Every structure is written in C-alpha cells, then in structure tokens.
Amino acid sequence: MYRILIFLFAFSFGFSDNTEVIAKNFDNDISSCNRFQIIRVLQDTTINYSLGDDVVWIKIFEGTPQSFIIINLHENEATSILAAKDIVNRFGGKFIFLSQKGERNISFKLGGNEYSFDPNRIFTREGIRKSLSNLGNYSFEAEEEVNKFAEFLLSELTKDSLFIIAVHNNTNGSYSINSFFNQYKQDVSNVYRNKSEDPDDFFFVVREEDFEYLKSKGFNVVLQDNQNVRDDGSLSVFCGRNNIPYINVETQVGKYQKQIQMLEEIKEYLSKPKEN
C-alpha cells in the first residue's frame, strides 16, 4: 500500500463571515493488490472560526464512506478524540472536533469584555444564557455571538443528515450511569445498568430503538426523556427535540479500548439493514 499526499492551503477561503478554511490535507490510500482502485480518501480540514476577537479551530477529519458523523465538543476529553480518529481512519465517516486552549470551556473577548461558555450548552438560547452567566459575564451581544457559532456547528452537523455520535470522557466516580438514578433522574425515561460494566462507561441515547438495541448488547445505557428533559442547551436536548438520531458514547478518561469497542458497536449497529 502506498500513499499520495496532497497538501492544499487555502487562505481566506471563507464560507461565512466568521470562517475561513486554513488548511486542507487529502490523503488517498490506494490498494497495492488492486493498484488503480481507491479504497478510501481521508481529508483533514481546519476551519478558522472568528468568535468575537478570538478564534476557535473547527477541525474536520473525514473518510469514505460517510455513514455517520462523530462530534467532540470538549477538547480536554482527549481519549475520545483519539478513539474517534481511529474509527474514521478504519471505517470512514466524519469527525468534527473543536480546538482552542485545550480546555473544556471556550472563551472569547467582545467589546472589551471576556466571556466563557461550555460548548455543549449552546444549542438552545436558554442554554447559552445559563452557560455564559454561570461562567462569568453575560451580555446580549455575547449571546448572539455564541448563537451564531452554535448555528454554524449545527449546519455542519446536520447538512448530510447523518447519524450523530457524540464522544465524551468523564472522571472516575463522578458523572456516571448512577447519576441517572438520582441527580438526573427527571431528565431520562429509562436506564439500563449492567452491574458487571464500569458505571463510568455508558451510552446516552434519544430514541427507544437505540436504547433497546444497546441494552440487548449488555451495555450501560440511558434514554433521554425528550419531552421532560431540562433545557441545559446540550446537543442531546437539541437532537431529542428535533428528532435527530443521536448517541453519546461516554467513557472514563483514559479508557481508549473501551471507547473504541463502544464506537465499533455503534458502527456495526448503523450498518445493519433496518427492519420494517
């Protein structure tokens, strides 16, 4: 197997007021046993997104075929970024992740003030307002700026109508499947806990059929109550309200093999023919 690498740097190649594509890298793998058949194309794109006076890099790593889209919103959850890249490398699909300062939250300056928000709390207006206020300053102008960013991300996430897979990592013994028996009980309509699994490793889904499938496979799984879930502006709330297929693959940080195994399970599930 050999590789042809084509680097293309396109400066000021903007497709909205806030963006420019700063780098594209195509990597075609060609099978040596069938020299002229391209078996997959990997493409790496970085979008330079202007947020107030600062920048967020939206990185898109994609391969063929494109049957699902993976999103990482928390840059400090590094295990999930590595696992998602490995999946796209081997099976295709598209992976979008955000990059700024290596932290969970994103910050920016606007009109001389500093603002911060959690990028998984921006997919409703209510969520944006709460996140800005909880993390420091709030202004309507900042809310608008974050809302534009959320709309841009959502357009990237939904434009090909692909199944959305979010990847997250938690720390041992904090947020886990057990949280849905107490703290987050009112947000979910069903929980399946397999006592032989680590409670930190679980799926969070918005559709009953996905819940039943993953339960049948013996994984910890939580089903969001799309009608009654509290509006925290997270992507699961947005997808649940808008009937968008969504699964969050959550593991303890550092559990790379477990996250790979869970992502492979989803990939397998999505490639099964649908029964009518």
Q: Which residue, 77 or 210, has its beta carbon nearer to Zn ion? A: 77
Residue in this structure with the two tokens 């947005």, named with its chain if needed:
238
Q: Which residue, 77 or 200, has its beta carbon nearer to Zn ion? A: 77
Binders of Zn ion in range 149-168 (CB under 5 A) = 168
103 to 2, 74, 137, 197: CA distances (angstroms): 37, 7, 18, 28
Q: Which residue, 81 or 87, has its beta carbon nearer to Zn ion? A: 81
Question: What is the residue type of 166?
Answer: A
How large is the C-alpha radius of gyration of the chain?
19
Q: How far is the CB of 271 from Zn ion (least distance, A)?
A: 26
CA dist 236 and 203 (Å) reads 12
Query: Should residue 121 be labelled a site residue for Zn ion when binding is judged by CB under 5 A?
Result: no
Q: How far is the CB of 77 from Zn ion (least distance, A)?
A: 5
Q: Which residue, 45 or 120, has its beta carbon nearer to Zn ion? A: 120
Q: How many residues bind Zn ion (CB under 5 A)?
A: 3
Binders of Zn ion in range 168-187 (CB under 5 A) = 168
User: Which helix (H) or strand (E) is 135 found in, with range?
Assistant: helix 125-135
Question: What is the residue type of 92?
Answer: G
Binders of Zn ion in range 47-86 (CB under 5 A) = 74, 77
Q: Which residue, 50 or 176, has its beta carbon nearer to Zn ion? A: 176
CA dist 250 and 110 (Å) reads 33
Binders of Zn ion in range 199-218 (CB under 5 A) = none
DSSP summary character for residue 25: E
Q: How far is the CB of 106 from Zn ion (least distance, A)?
A: 13
In the numeric block, which tokens belong to residue 216?
């049948």
Q: How far is the CB of 246 from Zn ion (least distance, A)?
A: 14
Please check whether residue 69 is in contact with residue 165, taking contact to mean a CB–CB distance below 8 angstroms. Answer: yes
* Residues within the interface to Zn ion (CB under 5 A): 74, 77, 168
